[in-house]
Structure formats: structure tokens, C-alpha cells
Amino acid sequence: MIDLRSDTVTRPTEEMREEAAGAAVGDDVHGDDPTVAELEARAADVVGMEAALFVPSGTMGNQIAARVHTDRGQEVITDRESHVVRYERAGFAQHSALQIRTIDAERGLPTPEQVRDAYLEGGLHRPPTGLLSLENTHNARGGLALDPEQFSETAATAHELDVPVHLDGARLFNAAVAHDVDVTAYTEAVDSVMFCLSKGLGAPIGSILAGSAEFIEAARGIRKLLGGGMRQAGIVAAPGLTALKNRSHLEIDHVNATRLANSLDEIEGLAITEPETNIVLADTGGLGLSAAEFLDLIEGEGVQASEFGPEIARFVTHRDVSATDIEDAIEAVTVAVSN
């Protein structure tokens, strides 16, 4: 089976397993785990922030960030297709008593004008705006890699209004690779950033939340509140250190995604959105198939993708699929839809 459902399906390499087994550990809730401390220090350095916190998942990282940045009853401005809206169980409402003001943002990035229009000062009737949450790459809009300059302008607009900015950068390194910039081209514009070690970078578990030292100190408390304080977490942090070194490999995933997209686009009835990173969206409507029907057909030929809308299937390339696997996947999908 060629598994293109997500880059989260990557398995830890032999090297990662060995590092996990040999990791120096301590009780991280007491701040005693040297491997976690090393990972947090390295991760903070990579994104150019003062401090970082190792968290079990990207979702928890985003949720902690919202909680630390805001007060109950505030609003968060974000794109309507963002992960925090679509896939986090209304966590901003549940954990932080926030209301979300969604914006239909082109490419998922609100413009400075949209931020200004959405901003509320607050008052007797109105909730004040407490946070702008941005996402890069933008998952639901097809792994779009945002332009660093436009990204910074939007973040700067929020700051002019005294609104902090969080970056859901689950796949931030994919964006940096796509634009051939250092990640700090994005992170220097925001107050906090979350990125996943467990996606294209290949670690089995974990994400990083980074920000100022003061922000991370508060975040550590919220992580404990949410039950995310982990004990000998060096066991899972050690593969994260190796994952951090896999950033440049993402380029290969992008090449594979482009190859996949170009070939799938030749299949009559399948409409492919040109990928910018490692995500390929395929509209199955022209085949007269729902996404679910399409996925059943291709699975019968040995390829898995995921359902991303009633007629949208999502293919994600990652370290565990080679260029040869991609050729095989193209062949399999072609056969599946021609039967």
C-alpha cells in the first residue's frame, strides 16, 4: 500500500529508534529531562524565538497559545478554512472561552484591510479582539506556502492594533523551503509559533510551541492544565532532535508532489490544484465520483489518500514515499479510474 493520506504516517527510522532507546531522561514535569531541554533549546533557536515548549501534539500547541494570548470572552480573527476552525473540536471556545471571527481570506491569509475590518475594540456590547491566528502552509487550502512579505504585513497590522499574532506552522518548514527563505522570515513577524515534528520532519510524536520566555513560562502552566505534562519525555523528544535536521528533505517531498500532480492532471475528469508544497488536492466531481468512492477505487489498486471534502481527495507526499512509489501511485490511480 502506498500511503498518501498524510505526512503524519511517517514511521520513525532506525536511527530515531536508537536515539529514543538511548536518550538521557528525567522527569520533565519537574524540568529534569535533559533531552527535552535540548530539543526545546534547539527548536527555539531554529525559529528565532527566546524559548520553546515540547508538546504532545500540534493541536495542543495551538490551544495553549490561544489560552496564553487571550482573556475569556475575546475574539480570535482567523481564516474560515484554518485548522483551528475545522479540526480542533471548537477548542478555542472550549478551553479559552473565545469566539472566532472567521474571514474568507484568499490563500488563507487575511489582508491587512481584512484584519482592520474584523478588529473590534470591545465595549458594552462588543467582544474585543484578542488574537490573530495565521496558518502556514495552509492545509485545507492545499498546502499553500504564504508569501513572507504579505505574511509580515498582515501580522504587522495586527500589532498596530495591539493584537498578538499566533502562527499555526504545523508545516512551516515546507513553506520556508517552497519560498527558499529561512523560517525566521515568518516567525520574526509573530509572537508565537507552533510547528509539528510529527509530520514531514518524520518524528513519531510531538510538536513545538515557541515564543518569548515569558510566553513559554505561561504556556508550561497551561500545558500542565491540559494534561500535557509528560515525565521521561526524552524518549520521544530524542527523535524530535533528528527530525529537526530533516528540514531540507522536504524539498524532495515537494518535487514528488509536483510530479504526482502533473500526472494525475492528465487523467480525464480529475481536476488537480497545482501544489506549492507536499499537498495535492484532487477534485473528483468530473469523474462522476464522490471523494469517498474515488478513495475506495484507488485503495483497491494499492493507494491511499484522504477525504477532504465531498468531492475533494487529498494526497500528501512524505519521507516514506519515494519517487518510485510516486510513479507506482500514478499508475495505480490511472488504472483505478479507468476500470
Ligand X SMILES: *Cc1c(COP(=O)(O)O)cnc(C)c1O
Of the two residues 13 and 207, which places its CB atom closer to ligand X in the complex? 207
| 59 binds ligand X, rule: CB under 6 A | yes
Taking CB under 6 A as the criterion, the residue among 170, 176, 264, 298 binding ligand X is 170
The x, y and z cell numbers of residue 264, run together, are 494525475
Of the two residues 105 and 270, which places its CB atom closer to ligand X in the complex? 105
Total number of residues that touch ligand X (CB under 6 A): 12
Q: How far is the CB of 302 from ligand X (least distance, A)?
A: 25
Q: Is 161 exposed, middle or buried (0-12, 13-18, 19+ CB in 10 A)?
A: middle
Shortest-Cβ-distance residue relative to ligand X: 58
Taking CB under 6 A as the criterion, the residue among 57, 111, 152, 304 binding ligand X is 57
Q: Which ranges of 58-180 would DSSP assign to H, the alpha helix?
A: 58-69, 83-86, 91-96, 112-118, 148-160, 172-179
| 143 binds ligand X, rule: CB under 6 A | no
Are 100 and 76 in contact, with CB atoms under 8 Å apart?
yes
| 58 binds ligand X, rule: CB under 6 A | yes
Q: Strands 129-135 and 75-79, how do they pair?
A: parallel
Of the two residues 62 and 242, which places its CB atom closer to ligand X in the complex? 62
Q: Report the distance separating Cα 222 and Cα 16, nearest Å.
A: 29
Angle in degrees, 0-180, between the axes of helices 172-179 and 250-264, rounded to the nearest 10: 80
Write out the binding residues for ligand X, residues 233-262 only, by CB under 6 A: none
CB proximity list for 58: less than 8 A, separation 6 or greater: 83, 168, 170, 194, 195, 196, 198, 207
CB proximity list for 292: less than 8 A, separation 6 or greater: 307
Q: Report the distance separating Cα 166 and Cα 311, nearest Å.
A: 31
Taking CB under 6 A as the criterion, the residue among 35, 154, 187, 198 binding ligand X is 198
Taking CB under 6 A as the criterion, the residue among 67, 83, 254, 259 binding ligand X is 83
**Using CB under 6 A, which of the segments 58-66, 221-229, 286-294, 297-305 binds ligand X?**
58-66
Grid look-up 527558499 returns 180
Instruction: Give the dihedral sign, CA 325/268/140/142.
Output: positive
| 183 binds ligand X, rule: CB under 6 A | no
Taking CB under 6 A as the criterion, the residue among 28, 168, 191, 253 binding ligand X is 168
Question: Cα-flanking dihedrals φ and ψ of residue 287, to 5°?
Answer: -90, -5
**DSSP for residue 151:** H
| 139 binds ligand X, rule: CB under 6 A | yes
Taking CB under 6 A as the criterion, the residue among 114, 207, 242, 258 binding ligand X is 207
| 114 binds ligand X, rule: CB under 6 A | no
Strands (E) in 136-262, as ranges, are: 165-168, 192-196, 207-211
| 200 binds ligand X, rule: CB under 6 A | no
**Using CB under 6 A, which of the segments 39-47, 56-64, 218-226, 258-266 binds ligand X?**
56-64
Taking CB under 6 A as the criterion, the residue among 132, 193, 196, 250 binding ligand X is 196
Which residues are near ligand X by CB under 6 A? 57-59, 62, 83, 135, 139, 168, 170, 196, 198, 207
